[in-house]
Amino acid sequence: QVQLVESGGGLVQAGGSLRLSCAASGRTFTRHTMGWFRQAPGKEREFVAAISWRSSSATDYSNSVKGRFTISRDNAKNTVYLQMNSLKPEDTAVYYCAAVELREATPLSTDYDYWGQGTQVTVSS
Protein backbone atom coordinates (compact mmCIF):
# COMPACT_ATOMS: atom_id res chain seq x y z
CA GLN A 1 0.00 0.00 0.00
CA VAL A 2 1.26 3.47 -0.92
CA GLN A 3 -0.08 6.71 0.54
CA LEU A 4 0.48 9.94 -1.33
CA VAL A 5 0.27 13.47 0.07
CA GLU A 6 0.50 16.49 -2.20
CA SER A 7 1.55 19.98 -1.15
CA GLY A 8 2.65 23.26 -2.67
CA GLY A 9 -0.53 24.43 -4.31
CA GLY A 10 -1.80 27.97 -4.01
CA LEU A 11 -2.73 31.18 -5.78
CA VAL A 12 -0.30 32.68 -8.27
CA GLN A 13 -0.48 35.30 -10.99
CA ALA A 14 -0.21 34.39 -14.65
CA GLY A 15 3.42 34.02 -15.64
CA GLY A 16 4.42 32.93 -12.16
CA SER A 17 5.76 29.64 -10.84
CA LEU A 18 4.86 26.99 -8.29
CA ARG A 19 6.46 23.74 -7.24
CA LEU A 20 4.22 20.89 -6.19
CA SER A 21 5.49 18.06 -4.02
CA CYS A 22 4.11 14.60 -3.48
CA ALA A 23 5.43 12.60 -0.54
CA ALA A 24 4.97 8.84 -0.67
CA SER A 25 4.85 6.46 2.25
CA GLY A 26 6.41 3.02 2.28
CA ARG A 27 9.73 1.50 1.29
CA THR A 28 8.91 0.74 -2.35
CA PHE A 29 8.98 4.24 -3.82
CA THR A 30 11.82 3.31 -6.17
CA ARG A 31 9.59 0.64 -7.74
CA HIS A 32 6.83 3.11 -8.62
CA THR A 33 6.27 5.22 -11.67
CA MET A 34 4.80 8.53 -10.56
CA GLY A 35 2.35 10.74 -12.38
CA TRP A 36 0.67 14.11 -12.04
CA PHE A 37 -2.87 14.69 -13.22
CA ARG A 38 -5.21 17.65 -12.90
CA GLN A 39 -8.92 18.29 -12.92
CA ALA A 40 -10.53 21.65 -13.56
CA PRO A 41 -14.14 22.38 -12.54
CA GLY A 42 -16.58 20.73 -14.92
CA LYS A 43 -13.83 18.90 -16.79
CA GLU A 44 -12.44 15.39 -16.77
CA ARG A 45 -9.18 14.54 -15.08
CA GLU A 46 -6.29 14.95 -17.49
CA PHE A 47 -2.69 13.79 -17.64
CA VAL A 48 0.05 16.33 -16.90
CA ALA A 49 3.35 14.48 -16.50
CA ALA A 50 4.90 11.17 -15.49
CA ILE A 51 8.31 9.88 -14.48
CA SER A 52 9.40 6.27 -14.70
CA TRP A 53 10.51 4.12 -11.77
CA ARG A 54 13.33 2.82 -13.96
CA SER A 55 15.04 6.11 -14.78
CA SER A 56 14.49 9.73 -13.81
CA SER A 57 15.26 10.70 -17.39
CA ALA A 58 12.28 8.69 -18.65
CA THR A 59 9.51 11.26 -18.52
CA ASP A 60 6.35 12.11 -20.40
CA TYR A 61 4.37 15.34 -20.62
CA SER A 62 1.09 16.48 -22.05
CA ASN A 63 1.43 18.86 -24.97
CA SER A 64 -0.27 21.61 -22.97
CA VAL A 65 2.52 21.75 -20.37
CA LYS A 66 5.58 20.61 -22.34
CA GLY A 67 8.36 23.16 -22.04
CA ARG A 68 6.76 24.85 -19.01
CA PHE A 69 6.47 22.05 -16.43
CA THR A 70 9.19 19.69 -15.20
CA ILE A 71 8.65 16.48 -13.27
CA SER A 72 11.44 15.08 -11.08
CA ARG A 73 11.88 12.65 -8.24
CA ASP A 74 14.09 12.30 -5.18
CA ASN A 75 14.18 8.63 -4.25
CA ALA A 76 16.05 9.35 -1.02
CA LYS A 77 13.12 11.50 0.12
CA ASN A 78 10.33 9.38 -1.39
CA THR A 79 9.11 12.52 -3.14
CA VAL A 80 8.13 13.53 -6.65
CA TYR A 81 7.98 17.16 -7.73
CA LEU A 82 6.25 19.17 -10.40
CA GLN A 83 7.94 22.46 -11.18
CA MET A 84 5.43 24.69 -12.97
CA ASN A 85 6.68 27.80 -14.76
CA SER A 86 4.98 30.36 -17.00
CA LEU A 87 1.65 29.48 -15.46
CA LYS A 88 -1.54 30.35 -17.32
CA PRO A 89 -5.11 30.77 -16.07
CA GLU A 90 -6.01 27.56 -17.90
CA ASP A 91 -3.62 25.68 -15.60
CA THR A 92 -6.07 26.31 -12.75
CA ALA A 93 -7.15 22.92 -11.38
CA VAL A 94 -6.81 20.46 -8.56
CA TYR A 95 -3.54 18.62 -9.10
CA TYR A 96 -3.28 14.96 -8.14
CA CYS A 97 -0.27 12.74 -7.64
CA ALA A 98 -0.55 9.07 -8.65
CA ALA A 99 1.61 5.96 -8.47
CA VAL A 100 1.85 2.58 -10.14
CA GLU A 101 4.38 -0.16 -9.46
CA LEU A 102 6.83 -1.46 -12.05
CA ARG A 103 5.26 0.18 -15.06
CA GLU A 104 6.76 2.61 -17.56
CA ALA A 105 5.57 6.21 -17.58
CA THR A 106 1.99 6.22 -18.78
CA PRO A 107 -0.54 9.02 -19.43
CA LEU A 108 -3.55 6.82 -18.68
CA SER A 109 -5.18 7.50 -15.32
CA THR A 110 -6.60 3.99 -15.28
CA ASP A 111 -3.05 2.57 -15.18
CA TYR A 112 -2.38 4.10 -11.76
CA ASP A 113 -3.26 2.29 -8.55
CA TYR A 114 -2.68 4.93 -5.89
CA TRP A 115 -3.84 8.53 -5.71
CA GLY A 116 -3.36 11.48 -3.42
CA GLN A 117 -6.08 13.83 -2.22
CA GLY A 118 -5.05 16.66 -4.50
CA THR A 119 -3.84 20.22 -4.09
CA GLN A 120 -5.50 23.31 -5.55
CA VAL A 121 -3.62 25.50 -8.00
CA THR A 122 -5.24 28.77 -9.01
CA VAL A 123 -3.70 31.07 -11.61
CA SER A 124 -5.13 34.56 -11.81
CA SER A 125 -5.02 36.64 -14.97
Per-residue pLDDT reduced to its tens digit, 26-69: 889 999 999 999 999 999 999 999 999 999 899 999 999 999 99
Instruction: Give the whole-angstrom CA distance, residue 95 versus residue 14.
Output: 17
* pLDDT tens digits, one per residue of 88-100: 999 999 999 999 9
Write down the pLDDT at residue 70: 98
Using the CB atoms, write b or e for 32-64: b if 16+ within 10 Å. bbbbbbbeeeeeebebbbbbbbeeeeeebbbee
Of 44, 37, 33, nearest in space to 62 by CA = 37
The one-character DSSP state at 119 is E
The pLDDT confidence band at residue 1, using thresholds 50, 70 and 90, is: confident
Write down the pLDDT at residue 12: 98
**Angle 83-89-95 (CA atoms, 0-180°, nearest 5)?**
45
Instruction: Give the whole-angstrom CA distance, residue 80 versus residue 119.
Output: 14
* Rg of the chain taking only CA atoms, in angstroms: 13
The pLDDT confidence band at residue 19, using thresholds 50, 70 and 90, is: very high
Write down the pLDDT at residue 7: 98
Q: Per-residue pLDDT averaged across 72-87, rounded?
A: 97
- Distance in Å from the first CA to the final CA of the chain: 40
The pLDDT confidence band at residue 4, using thresholds 50, 70 and 90, is: very high
